[in-house]
Structure 1
Amino acid sequence: MSEYDCVRRGRLVLKGELPKKRKQKKEKKDKPKKRRVDEDALKHGGWWKATTFNDIRGSVAIEYGRNSYITALDNGLFTLGAPHNDNDGPSPEEIFTAFPINDTHVAFKSGYGKYLKVEKDGMITGRSDAVSAMEQFEPVFQDGKLALLAGNGCFVSVDPEDDAVVALRKTAGEAEVVSIRTCAVRELNTEKEVPEEEIGNLEQVEINYVKKFQKFQDKKMRICAEDKTALDKAKKEGILHQTLLDRRSKMKSDRYCK
């Protein structure tokens, strides 16, 4: 029987049947992640809009209106430059260097090596060699908008009569709304990997997690009836998932809860 053991066994092949080619398994390639394109930055030559205090550092440009930037003059004054075309970034004289002073204030240095300062008459000048209280500015973010609070307690704006840069008003209106743009390298804007259950408001998030984890023996969904303001507080404190788990455990229908 040893001769038969040496014969290679295979499937039965009938006369006239052509051997089938083996299909080669193709290696699965990871699909590239979708990347968000910052259309606004592209229209400004790659200079993207700062949305947090930590974004305001290094080379920045201060934009009022659309594609118009604050320009430094050689006499230590500032004016609003001419509008740029789409896809063009700021000119060299429109680029400043931002230095964070603390967690809320920042100082700006012009291309002439001088710090921006608010004078007693509210005029913004660039003639200081050091930073004092008058050379510090506080970026104020609210409702997706930004305004710069100067050391005199007034917000920075552009005088419509002569395009001079001033700080004269105690309250911020449309004239005081500014965009600070930066060219600093940032992480690629990949789509945030947000779990499907966390899409929507907090009320919907709780429902999503209940649907995922709760057993429906009687086909009835049970939602904790306690005040949902606790979820908002838990999210700010970074314990949202723990709070959701506690709320589900009170319904005694969760396979992950005691």
Structure 2
Amino acid sequence: MSEYDKVRIGKLVLKGEKPKSKKRKHKKQDKQDIAKNVQDNDAVLHGGWWKAKSVSEISGTVAIEFGNSCYVKALDNGLFTLGGPHNDGEGPLPEEILTAFPVNETKIALKSGYGKYLGVDKKGTVIGRSDAVGAMEQWEPIFQDGKLALLSNIGCFMSVANDDDDIICERTTAGPAEILTIRSLSQRMEDSSKDVPTEERGSLAEVEINYVRKFQKFQDKKLRVNVENHTQLEQAKNEGTLHEALLDRRSKMKADRYCK
């Protein structure tokens, strides 16, 4: 081998040029990827049924899970029991599948595969015998510290009876026996506002205040918002010129370092 062949061949580095460091993934992105993988793995272990983490996600095809892969099961007599455990990768059986409907922002209704809505009788037993949603057929999912409990209209939480695995509502406080998971098979809806800048979320009045807070600088640190109506802003938003309209309105208030 000649002396020339022994010379290490590499990128040409000019005098005074500093080597660039390798790009590294942001730690925040790493955590997001890890969380996504964990969530996906959890869904895979449950046959594609993913864990609902907010009231807005409880809609459509769902199942109520107690413990590990044991689901609330509807019986043909209108009662409910806890089904047997499932193996990894298995979802709930047809009789363990429910349909969830939003009642309002905080409450939902649940319908069994027999077409009846879940409610509670006078003894605190969960039943599914109603053809319509009344006060007794409304449930409030309570999320706290990453855990979920389901509150009935009688003020008691859903749980499983110790002796015969019946589904009941007896306790007014949520303990370990009342902690459950609602899993969904519905397609997850993407947050339509996730790509919208924070300043542009809310009503037009709130958007204008957000931009005033961001850009206007006054010595007394008091906000000065244009008092004209927002008809012009509504038209500008429809035409795709919202930013220009906001800038024009701020320029009329003067003392704005970003306006003329």
TM-score (norm 1): 0.61
Aligned in 2, Cα 1:244/1:158: closer, same or farther, shift over 3 Å? Answer: farther
Match of 1:87 in 2: 89
Amino acid across the alignment from 2:124: G
Listed as ranges, the matches of 1:1-258 within 5 Å are 36-37=36-37, 38-186=40-188
Q: 1:243 to 1:96 in 2, by over 3 A?
A: same
Instruction: Note if contact 1:245-1:257 (Cα within 8 Å) is conserved in structure 2.
Output: no
2-structure distance, mates of 1:41, 1:188: 17
* Equivalent residue letter for 2:118: L
Task: Judge conservation of contact 1:109–1:116 (CA < 8 Å) in 2.
Answer: yes
Superposition CA RMSD, Å: 3.1
Cα distance in 1, alignment partners of residues 258 and 148 from structure 2: 45
Change (3 A) 1:256 1:138: same
Q: Look up the SS of the partner of 1:63 in the other structure.
A: strand
Counting matched residue pairs gives 181
* Counterparts of 1:103 and 1:256, CA distance in 2: 40
Q: Higher helix fraction: Structure 1 or Structure 2?
A: 2
Please report how far the alpha carbon of residue 242 of structure 1 lies from its aligned counterpart in structure 2 after TM superposition.
Answer: 6.4
Deviations 1:126-166 (A, max 9, x none): 11112111111111111111111101111111112211100
Counterpart Cα distance in 1 of 2:69 and 2:212: 46
Where does structure 1 differ by over 4 angstroms across 4 or more consecutive aligned residues?
237-246, 255-258
Which letter maps to 1:179? T
Structure index of larger Rg = 1
**What's the CA shift string for 1:153-189, capped at 9, x where partnerless?**
1111111221110011111111111110001112579
Q: Please give the per-residue CA displacement for 1:26-52, whole angstroms capped at 9, x wherever unaligned.
A: xxxxxxx99743111111111011111
Structure 2 counterpart SS, 1:54: helix
Which sections of structure 1, spanning at least 5 residues, go unmatched?
1-32, 196-236
Contact kept? 1:64, 1:178, Cα under 8 Å: yes
Structure 2 SS opposite 1:62: strand
Structure 2 gaps of 5+ residues are 1-28, 198-205, 220-256
% identical aligned pairs: 57
Q: CA deviation at 1:84?
A: 0.6
